[in-house]
Amino acid sequence: MEARLAHPIFKPYRKWLAKLSEPLAASVADLTALADEAGIRVASGAPLRFVVPSSECKAYGAYERRVFESGRVETRPGSLHDLFNALAWLAFPRTKARLNALHTREIPREQGRRGRLRDLLTLVDEGGAIVRSSNAELRRLVHDMNWRALFWQERDRLGDFQIQVVGHAVLERALAPWPGIVCKVVFVDGDGDPDELASQALEDLPLDAAPRTFPVLPIFGYPGWDDRTAEARFYDDEKYFRRARWRRPGIAAARRMGAESRPGSRCGNAEESPGSAEQDAG
């Protein structure tokens, strides 16, 4: 397997990567075969399938509705972004199915412009991380954005802080990790399957949920996820570990594009699975 896939971020995916002869060049047929083998279905009950996108222009919300109704996930050959989306479906099928079901529920209410709840769902889909932790103090440090305390002063307690990245844009970027990458955190607690627990946490979201409902986490500050995590001064670098809310350069540009031309859309006002430009927003 490629050295780039040895990073701990890919641990939840190794079961699936090991089944592929060329993990970073898997075909839609290879990926669908794995979904068949695992018996994965979307929330409507349709079996999960990965298909080459059609060239026709799609109506607003058609991507999510088609996934929900038919189980067909459009996957561009040669696209690492789409490959990691498929791998996320394989590794976290309940979470991905819940995200899709919630998108599909909300689309008819939106009158052609994506709302704040779906902004949050998109950010989780593109850049989400499931964090299992029963430690209220560690959770508070995340909400307070006190990264030095979390990753350095409390690192001996991070056995109770397990990160599993589900966001496919983050997985794609992790092939060449950069410590400034952040994830939206879905906290879960308990001994159950993190995928099932995260799915339930998403189902419990109120209708007025928005991007700031979930905190952010600079995941490459986790000890061992970057070579520099062995030094305390790494966590003092505010390029990567800021204490206050901030906006990154790509976010304003993504928002200016508006609902009629989201990153990832190739058909004017059509909406497809958003691109990596949105994964850090909120």
Residue-wise DSSP of 106-123 = HGGGSTTS--HHHHHHHH
Q: Which two tokens stand for residue 201?
A: 């946490």
Helix axis angle, 194-203 to 93-106, nearest 10°: 10
Q: In the structure, what pLDDT confidence band is assigned to residue 275 with cuts at 50, 70 and 90?
A: very low
d(CA 84, CA 132): 22
Q: pLDDT tens-digit profile of 231-269? A: 999 999 999 998 855 444 333 333 332 332 233 333 333
pLDDT digits (tens, 9 = 90+) for 32-58: 999 999 999 999 999 999 999 987 657
Give me the phi and psi of 134, to 5 degrees please: -100, 0
d(CA 13, CA 1) in angstroms, rounded, equals 12
Say how far apart CA 131 and CA 194 lie, in whole Å: 8
- Residues in contact with 246: Cβ distance below 8 Å, sequence separation at least 6, in sequence order: none
Mean pLDDT of the chain: 87
Q: Is 145 exposed, middle or buried (0-12, 13-18, 19+ CB in 10 A)?
A: middle
At 245 the pLDDT is 55
Beta strands in the chain (DSSP E): 49-51, 72-74, 128-132, 162-165, 183-188, 216-217
Task: Give pTM, 2 decimals.
Answer: 0.87
